[in-house]
Structure 1
Amino acid sequence: MPHTIVVYHSGYGHTQRLAQAVAEGAGAQSIAIDADGNLPEGGWEALQAAQAIIFGAPTYMGGPSWQFKKFADASSKPWFSQSWKDKLFAGFTCSASVNGDKQVTLDYFFHLAMQHGGLWVGLGHLPSNTKAATRNDANWIGTFSGAAAQAPADASAGEMFAGDLENGRILGQRVAQLAARLGA
Protein backbone atom coordinates (compact mmCIF):
# COMPACT_ATOMS: atom_id res chain seq x y z
CA MET A 1 0.00 0.00 0.00
CA PRO A 2 1.33 3.49 -0.83
CA HIS A 3 2.75 5.47 2.06
CA THR A 4 0.31 8.08 3.39
CA ILE A 5 0.84 10.65 6.14
CA VAL A 6 -1.91 12.37 8.12
CA VAL A 7 -0.42 15.65 9.38
CA TYR A 8 -2.69 17.54 11.74
CA HIS A 9 -3.07 19.94 14.64
CA SER A 10 -5.65 19.36 17.36
CA GLY A 11 -6.47 21.90 20.04
CA TYR A 12 -8.80 19.93 22.30
CA GLY A 13 -8.61 16.33 21.05
CA HIS A 14 -11.55 16.31 18.61
CA THR A 15 -9.40 16.78 15.52
CA GLN A 16 -6.96 14.20 16.86
CA ARG A 17 -9.78 11.68 17.14
CA LEU A 18 -10.85 12.48 13.58
CA ALA A 19 -7.20 12.17 12.46
CA GLN A 20 -7.09 8.69 13.99
CA ALA A 21 -10.17 7.68 11.98
CA VAL A 22 -8.65 9.10 8.77
CA ALA A 23 -5.35 7.30 9.44
CA GLU A 24 -7.23 4.06 10.16
CA GLY A 25 -9.10 4.32 6.87
CA ALA A 26 -5.92 5.05 4.92
CA GLY A 27 -3.60 2.70 6.76
CA ALA A 28 -1.56 5.86 7.31
CA GLN A 29 1.03 7.19 9.70
CA SER A 30 -0.02 10.26 11.75
CA ILE A 31 2.16 13.24 12.55
CA ALA A 32 0.82 15.70 15.11
CA ILE A 33 1.71 19.38 14.87
CA ASP A 34 2.43 20.46 18.44
CA ALA A 35 0.97 23.38 20.40
CA ASP A 36 3.81 25.60 19.14
CA GLY A 37 3.13 24.73 15.48
CA ASN A 38 6.12 22.43 15.06
CA LEU A 39 6.52 18.90 13.72
CA PRO A 40 8.29 16.21 15.73
CA GLU A 41 11.79 15.16 14.75
CA GLY A 42 11.74 13.35 11.43
CA GLY A 43 8.35 14.82 10.48
CA TRP A 44 9.55 16.74 7.43
CA GLU A 45 11.47 13.71 6.18
CA ALA A 46 8.38 11.51 6.58
CA LEU A 47 6.28 14.00 4.59
CA GLN A 48 8.96 14.09 1.90
CA ALA A 49 8.85 10.30 1.58
CA ALA A 50 5.04 10.12 1.57
CA GLN A 51 3.08 9.49 -1.59
CA ALA A 52 -0.07 11.05 -0.15
CA ILE A 53 -0.52 13.76 2.51
CA ILE A 54 -3.78 14.37 4.35
CA PHE A 55 -4.05 17.72 6.17
CA GLY A 56 -6.14 18.21 9.29
CA ALA A 57 -6.87 21.08 11.65
CA PRO A 58 -9.74 22.46 13.67
CA THR A 59 -11.61 25.41 12.21
CA TYR A 60 -11.07 28.41 14.48
CA MET A 61 -12.31 31.88 13.60
CA GLY A 62 -13.05 30.99 9.98
CA GLY A 63 -9.90 29.04 9.10
CA PRO A 64 -7.36 26.49 10.29
CA SER A 65 -5.59 26.93 13.63
CA TRP A 66 -2.52 29.15 13.71
CA GLN A 67 -0.42 26.10 14.50
CA PHE A 68 -1.42 24.54 11.19
CA LYS A 69 -0.77 27.85 9.39
CA LYS A 70 2.74 27.91 10.87
CA PHE A 71 3.32 24.41 9.46
CA ALA A 72 1.90 25.54 6.09
CA ASP A 73 4.23 28.55 6.00
CA ALA A 74 7.18 26.32 6.90
CA SER A 75 6.30 24.10 3.92
CA SER A 76 7.75 26.78 1.65
CA LYS A 77 11.01 24.78 1.58
CA PRO A 78 9.42 21.74 -0.12
CA TRP A 79 7.38 24.19 -2.22
CA PHE A 80 10.52 25.92 -3.50
CA SER A 81 12.09 22.61 -4.53
CA GLN A 82 8.71 21.29 -5.79
CA SER A 83 9.39 18.11 -3.82
CA TRP A 84 5.69 17.56 -3.00
CA LYS A 85 4.62 17.97 -6.63
CA ASP A 86 2.19 15.29 -7.89
CA LYS A 87 1.54 13.86 -4.42
CA LEU A 88 -2.08 13.17 -3.53
CA PHE A 89 -3.59 15.52 -0.93
CA ALA A 90 -6.82 15.59 1.06
CA GLY A 91 -8.08 17.31 4.19
CA PHE A 92 -10.41 17.24 7.18
CA THR A 93 -11.58 19.63 9.86
CA CYS A 94 -13.79 19.91 12.91
CA SER A 95 -15.52 22.85 14.60
CA ALA A 96 -18.07 23.38 17.36
CA SER A 97 -20.72 24.83 15.06
CA VAL A 98 -22.52 22.79 12.42
CA ASN A 99 -21.27 25.09 9.67
CA GLY A 100 -18.56 26.93 11.54
CA ASP A 101 -16.98 27.96 8.22
CA LYS A 102 -15.37 24.54 7.86
CA GLN A 103 -15.42 24.96 4.09
CA VAL A 104 -12.93 27.82 4.43
CA THR A 105 -10.50 25.49 6.20
CA LEU A 106 -10.95 22.79 3.56
CA ASP A 107 -10.40 25.44 0.86
CA TYR A 108 -7.21 26.53 2.66
CA PHE A 109 -5.94 22.95 2.55
CA PHE A 110 -6.90 22.66 -1.13
CA HIS A 111 -5.03 25.84 -2.04
CA LEU A 112 -1.99 24.74 -0.04
CA ALA A 113 -1.99 21.46 -1.96
CA MET A 114 -2.33 23.34 -5.26
CA GLN A 115 0.60 25.59 -4.30
CA HIS A 116 2.63 22.40 -3.95
CA GLY A 117 1.50 21.09 -7.34
CA GLY A 118 -0.49 18.30 -5.74
CA LEU A 119 -3.60 16.38 -6.76
CA TRP A 120 -6.65 16.87 -4.52
CA VAL A 121 -8.89 14.04 -3.34
CA GLY A 122 -12.39 14.92 -2.14
CA LEU A 123 -14.66 12.87 0.08
CA GLY A 124 -16.51 11.17 -2.78
CA HIS A 125 -19.45 10.22 -0.57
CA LEU A 126 -23.05 11.28 -1.01
CA PRO A 127 -24.59 13.35 1.78
CA SER A 128 -27.04 11.94 4.29
CA ASN A 129 -29.72 14.50 3.57
CA THR A 130 -33.03 12.74 3.99
CA LYS A 131 -35.58 13.31 6.76
CA ALA A 132 -34.48 10.03 8.32
CA ALA A 133 -30.79 11.06 8.42
CA THR A 134 -29.12 11.65 11.79
CA ARG A 135 -25.79 12.98 13.01
CA ASN A 136 -24.59 9.40 13.21
CA ASP A 137 -24.84 9.00 9.42
CA ALA A 138 -21.75 9.54 7.28
CA ASN A 139 -21.57 12.96 5.62
CA TRP A 140 -24.58 14.33 7.50
CA ILE A 141 -23.03 17.82 7.15
CA GLY A 142 -22.89 17.41 3.36
CA THR A 143 -19.31 18.28 2.45
CA PHE A 144 -17.55 17.11 -0.69
CA SER A 145 -14.06 18.64 -0.71
CA GLY A 146 -12.96 16.80 2.43
CA ALA A 147 -14.21 15.34 5.70
CA ALA A 148 -15.99 17.69 8.09
CA ALA A 149 -16.98 17.02 11.67
CA GLN A 150 -18.96 18.90 14.30
CA ALA A 151 -18.29 18.55 18.01
CA PRO A 152 -20.38 20.66 20.39
CA ALA A 153 -18.26 23.09 22.41
CA ASP A 154 -19.17 21.31 25.63
CA ALA A 155 -18.56 17.75 24.31
CA SER A 156 -15.43 15.73 24.89
CA ALA A 157 -13.55 14.09 22.04
CA GLY A 158 -15.03 10.80 23.21
CA GLU A 159 -18.50 12.14 22.44
CA MET A 160 -17.91 12.76 18.75
CA PHE A 161 -20.64 11.60 16.38
CA ALA A 162 -20.13 8.20 14.75
CA GLY A 163 -21.02 9.64 11.33
CA ASP A 164 -18.21 12.20 11.57
CA LEU A 165 -15.66 9.54 12.44
CA GLU A 166 -16.98 7.41 9.58
CA ASN A 167 -16.40 10.42 7.29
CA GLY A 168 -12.77 10.34 8.33
CA ARG A 169 -12.44 6.63 7.60
CA ILE A 170 -14.16 7.09 4.21
CA LEU A 171 -11.77 9.91 3.28
CA GLY A 172 -8.75 7.88 4.36
CA GLN A 173 -9.92 4.83 2.42
CA ARG A 174 -10.51 6.91 -0.70
CA VAL A 175 -7.03 8.42 -0.58
CA ALA A 176 -5.49 4.96 -0.10
CA GLN A 177 -7.53 3.45 -2.95
CA LEU A 178 -6.65 6.26 -5.36
CA ALA A 179 -2.99 6.17 -4.39
CA ALA A 180 -2.90 2.43 -5.09
CA ARG A 181 -4.76 2.88 -8.38
CA LEU A 182 -2.44 5.63 -9.53
CA GLY A 183 0.66 3.83 -8.31
CA ALA A 184 1.42 6.92 -6.23
Structure 2
Amino acid sequence: MSQAAAPNVAIIYYSSTGNVHALAQEVATGAEKAGAQVRVAKVAELAPEEAIAANPAWQAHVRETADVPVADPDLVTWADAIIFGSPTRFGNVASQLKQFIDTLGPLWGKGLLADKVYSGFVSTATPHGGRESTLLALYNTVHHFGGILVTPGYTAPIQYETGTPYGPSHHDAQGANPISDATRQSARYSGERVATVAARLKAGAS
Protein backbone atom coordinates (compact mmCIF):
# COMPACT_ATOMS: atom_id res chain seq x y z
CA MET A 1 0.00 0.00 0.00
CA SER A 2 1.34 3.42 -0.92
CA GLN A 3 1.90 5.86 1.92
CA ALA A 4 -0.57 8.24 0.28
CA ALA A 5 -3.33 5.62 0.39
CA ALA A 6 -2.52 4.34 3.88
CA PRO A 7 -5.58 5.10 6.01
CA ASN A 8 -5.57 6.60 9.47
CA VAL A 9 -7.38 4.21 11.82
CA ALA A 10 -8.47 5.24 15.32
CA ILE A 11 -9.42 2.54 17.81
CA ILE A 12 -11.41 4.17 20.59
CA TYR A 13 -12.59 2.02 23.46
CA TYR A 14 -13.72 1.73 27.03
CA SER A 15 -12.56 -1.16 29.22
CA SER A 16 -13.03 -1.68 32.95
CA THR A 17 -11.22 -4.97 33.64
CA GLY A 18 -9.18 -5.47 30.48
CA ASN A 19 -11.05 -7.59 27.95
CA VAL A 20 -11.98 -4.76 25.61
CA HIS A 21 -8.48 -3.33 26.00
CA ALA A 22 -7.00 -6.67 24.92
CA LEU A 23 -9.32 -6.85 21.93
CA ALA A 24 -8.32 -3.30 20.97
CA GLN A 25 -4.69 -4.42 20.76
CA GLU A 26 -5.64 -7.28 18.45
CA VAL A 27 -7.74 -5.00 16.23
CA ALA A 28 -4.79 -2.60 16.04
CA THR A 29 -2.47 -5.43 14.99
CA GLY A 30 -4.81 -6.33 12.15
CA ALA A 31 -5.13 -2.75 10.96
CA GLU A 32 -1.36 -2.29 11.05
CA LYS A 33 -0.93 -5.49 9.04
CA ALA A 34 -3.03 -3.85 6.32
CA GLY A 35 -0.68 -0.86 6.31
CA ALA A 36 -2.76 1.60 8.31
CA GLN A 37 -1.49 4.33 10.56
CA VAL A 38 -3.11 3.31 13.86
CA ARG A 39 -3.78 5.20 17.07
CA VAL A 40 -5.37 3.48 20.07
CA ALA A 41 -7.07 5.55 22.77
CA LYS A 42 -9.35 4.93 25.72
CA VAL A 43 -12.24 7.17 26.68
CA ALA A 44 -12.35 8.95 30.02
CA GLU A 45 -13.51 7.04 33.08
CA LEU A 46 -16.76 8.26 34.63
CA ALA A 47 -17.16 5.78 37.49
CA PRO A 48 -16.54 7.01 41.03
CA GLU A 49 -13.25 6.07 42.63
CA GLU A 50 -14.98 4.04 45.33
CA ALA A 51 -16.60 1.79 42.72
CA ILE A 52 -13.24 1.16 41.07
CA ALA A 53 -11.55 0.52 44.42
CA ALA A 54 -14.18 -2.10 45.29
CA ASN A 55 -13.19 -4.24 42.30
CA PRO A 56 -9.53 -5.39 42.36
CA ALA A 57 -9.50 -6.31 38.66
CA TRP A 58 -10.89 -2.91 37.69
CA GLN A 59 -8.42 -1.14 39.96
CA ALA A 60 -5.50 -3.10 38.51
CA HIS A 61 -6.58 -2.38 34.94
CA VAL A 62 -6.75 1.35 35.61
CA ARG A 63 -3.16 1.25 36.86
CA GLU A 64 -1.92 -0.92 33.99
CA THR A 65 -3.40 1.34 31.31
CA ALA A 66 -2.52 4.69 32.85
CA ASP A 67 -0.26 5.49 29.90
CA VAL A 68 -2.91 4.85 27.22
CA PRO A 69 -3.92 8.19 25.64
CA VAL A 70 -7.40 9.51 26.33
CA ALA A 71 -9.47 10.02 23.18
CA ASP A 72 -10.55 13.46 22.08
CA PRO A 73 -12.50 14.77 19.07
CA ASP A 74 -9.27 15.64 17.24
CA LEU A 75 -8.53 11.92 16.99
CA VAL A 76 -11.83 11.37 15.20
CA THR A 77 -11.09 14.24 12.81
CA TRP A 78 -7.68 12.68 12.03
CA ALA A 79 -9.08 9.24 11.31
CA ASP A 80 -10.34 7.83 8.04
CA ALA A 81 -11.77 4.89 10.00
CA ILE A 82 -12.92 4.63 13.61
CA ILE A 83 -13.38 1.33 15.43
CA PHE A 84 -15.22 1.58 18.74
CA GLY A 85 -14.89 -0.98 21.54
CA SER A 86 -17.20 -1.36 24.53
CA PRO A 87 -18.29 -3.80 27.20
CA THR A 88 -22.03 -4.44 27.19
CA ARG A 89 -24.15 -2.65 29.74
CA PHE A 90 -27.68 -4.08 29.89
CA GLY A 91 -27.45 -4.89 26.19
CA ASN A 92 -26.14 -1.49 25.28
CA VAL A 93 -22.98 0.60 24.95
CA ALA A 94 -21.16 1.52 28.18
CA SER A 95 -21.91 5.05 29.36
CA GLN A 96 -18.23 6.01 29.22
CA LEU A 97 -18.05 5.37 25.48
CA LYS A 98 -21.50 6.82 24.86
CA GLN A 99 -20.52 10.01 26.67
CA PHE A 100 -17.51 10.40 24.38
CA ILE A 101 -19.64 9.80 21.30
CA ASP A 102 -22.08 12.43 22.55
CA THR A 103 -19.28 15.02 22.62
CA LEU A 104 -18.90 14.66 18.85
CA GLY A 105 -21.97 16.78 18.14
CA PRO A 106 -19.97 19.77 16.89
CA LEU A 107 -18.11 17.57 14.39
CA TRP A 108 -21.39 15.98 13.31
CA GLY A 109 -22.91 19.43 12.83
CA LYS A 110 -20.11 20.32 10.42
CA GLY A 111 -20.47 17.06 8.48
CA LEU A 112 -17.03 15.90 9.62
CA LEU A 113 -18.19 12.46 10.76
CA ALA A 114 -19.73 11.50 7.44
CA ASP A 115 -18.07 9.25 4.85
CA LYS A 116 -15.64 7.72 7.34
CA VAL A 117 -15.49 3.97 7.92
CA TYR A 118 -16.80 2.67 11.26
CA SER A 119 -16.89 -0.66 13.04
CA GLY A 120 -17.02 -2.09 16.57
CA PHE A 121 -16.16 -4.85 19.01
CA VAL A 122 -17.50 -5.86 22.43
CA SER A 123 -17.16 -8.05 25.50
CA THR A 124 -19.81 -9.25 27.95
CA ALA A 125 -20.00 -11.32 31.11
CA THR A 126 -22.66 -13.82 30.03
CA PRO A 127 -23.17 -15.89 26.85
CA HIS A 128 -26.28 -13.99 25.75
CA GLY A 129 -25.61 -10.76 27.59
CA GLY A 130 -26.20 -8.42 24.66
CA ARG A 131 -23.14 -8.68 22.46
CA GLU A 132 -25.13 -8.35 19.23
CA SER A 133 -27.59 -5.79 20.60
CA THR A 134 -24.73 -3.63 21.83
CA LEU A 135 -23.09 -3.59 18.42
CA LEU A 136 -26.39 -2.92 16.67
CA ALA A 137 -27.09 -0.06 19.09
CA LEU A 138 -23.63 1.36 18.40
CA TYR A 139 -24.23 1.13 14.66
CA ASN A 140 -27.41 3.23 14.94
CA THR A 141 -25.04 6.09 15.72
CA VAL A 142 -23.00 5.34 12.60
CA HIS A 143 -26.13 5.75 10.48
CA HIS A 144 -26.77 9.15 12.05
CA PHE A 145 -23.18 10.13 11.28
CA GLY A 146 -23.59 9.20 7.63
CA GLY A 147 -20.71 6.78 8.12
CA ILE A 148 -19.75 3.70 6.15
CA LEU A 149 -20.23 0.58 8.26
CA VAL A 150 -17.67 -2.18 7.68
CA THR A 151 -18.21 -5.30 9.76
CA PRO A 152 -16.27 -8.58 9.43
CA GLY A 153 -19.39 -10.38 8.27
CA TYR A 154 -18.88 -13.92 7.06
CA THR A 155 -16.03 -12.95 4.75
CA ALA A 156 -13.25 -15.17 6.16
CA PRO A 157 -13.04 -18.71 7.58
CA ILE A 158 -12.45 -17.44 11.11
CA GLN A 159 -15.83 -15.74 11.04
CA TYR A 160 -17.59 -19.05 10.54
CA GLU A 161 -15.74 -20.37 13.57
CA THR A 162 -16.62 -17.44 15.84
CA GLY A 163 -20.03 -16.66 14.35
CA THR A 164 -19.72 -12.94 14.97
CA PRO A 165 -20.64 -11.11 11.74
CA TYR A 166 -21.47 -7.84 13.52
CA GLY A 167 -18.00 -7.51 15.07
CA PRO A 168 -15.57 -9.41 17.30
CA SER A 169 -17.03 -10.28 20.68
CA HIS A 170 -15.96 -12.07 23.84
CA HIS A 171 -17.90 -13.78 26.62
CA ASP A 172 -15.79 -13.78 29.77
CA ALA A 173 -18.10 -15.70 32.17
CA GLN A 174 -17.53 -13.21 34.98
CA GLY A 175 -13.78 -13.44 34.47
CA ALA A 176 -13.60 -17.24 34.11
CA ASN A 177 -13.07 -17.34 30.33
CA PRO A 178 -9.88 -15.95 28.79
CA ILE A 179 -10.15 -14.49 25.31
CA SER A 180 -9.92 -17.42 22.88
CA ASP A 181 -7.42 -17.65 20.04
CA ALA A 182 -10.35 -17.65 17.60
CA THR A 183 -11.73 -14.42 19.02
CA ARG A 184 -8.30 -12.82 18.85
CA GLN A 185 -8.00 -13.90 15.21
CA SER A 186 -11.44 -12.46 14.51
CA ALA A 187 -10.40 -9.16 16.08
CA ARG A 188 -7.24 -9.02 13.98
CA TYR A 189 -9.21 -9.87 10.87
CA SER A 190 -11.77 -7.16 11.60
CA GLY A 191 -9.03 -4.55 11.99
CA GLU A 192 -7.42 -5.67 8.76
CA ARG A 193 -10.72 -5.59 6.87
CA VAL A 194 -11.62 -2.09 8.11
CA ALA A 195 -8.19 -0.77 7.15
CA THR A 196 -8.31 -2.42 3.73
CA VAL A 197 -11.71 -0.99 2.87
CA ALA A 198 -10.74 2.44 4.23
CA ALA A 199 -7.61 2.41 2.06
CA ARG A 200 -9.66 1.68 -1.05
CA LEU A 201 -12.04 4.50 -0.29
CA LYS A 202 -9.20 6.90 0.46
CA ALA A 203 -7.40 5.98 -2.77
CA GLY A 204 -10.59 6.45 -4.77
CA ALA A 205 -11.19 9.89 -3.29
CA SER A 206 -7.67 11.16 -3.97
Q: TM-score range by the shorter chain?
A: 0.7 to 0.9
Alignment match, 1:58 = 87
Moved more, 119-128 or 58-67: 119-128
1:146 matches 2:167? yes
**Structure 2, unaligned runs of 5 or more:** 1-5, 33-37, 48-67
CA distance in 2, matches of 1:7, 1:148: 15
Distance change (3 Å), C-alpha of 1:143 and 1:42:
closer
Q: Over residues 116-148 of structure 1, what are the superposed CA-to-partner deviations in whole Å (9 max), with x where a residue is unaligned? A: 1100001133687xxxxxxxx655441212221
For the residue of structure 1 that corresponds to 2:163, the secondary structure is coil
1:57-76 superposed matches below 5 A:
57-76=86-105
Contact 2:19 2:179 in 1 (8 A): yes
Moved more, 86-95 or 66-75: 66-75
1:46 matches 2:78? no
Alignment match, 2:180 = 161
Contact 1:151 1:161 in 2 (8 A): no
1:8 matches 2:13? yes
Letter in 2 for 1:178: V
**TM superposition shift of 1:175:** 0.4
Letter in 1 for 2:22: R
Out of 110, 113, 118, the position equivalent to 2:142 is 113
State the TM-score, normalizing by the size of structure 1: 0.85
Letter in 2 for 1:63: N
Letter in 2 for 1:143: T
State the TM-score, normalizing by the size of structure 2: 0.76
Distance change (3 Å), C-alpha of 1:46 and 1:154:
closer
Alignment match, 2:40 = 30
Alignment match, 1:132 = none
**Structure 1, unaligned runs of 5 or more:** 129-136
Out of 95, 108, 122, the position equivalent to 2:124 is 95
**TM superposition shift of 1:171:** 0.5
Q: How many residues align?
A: 173
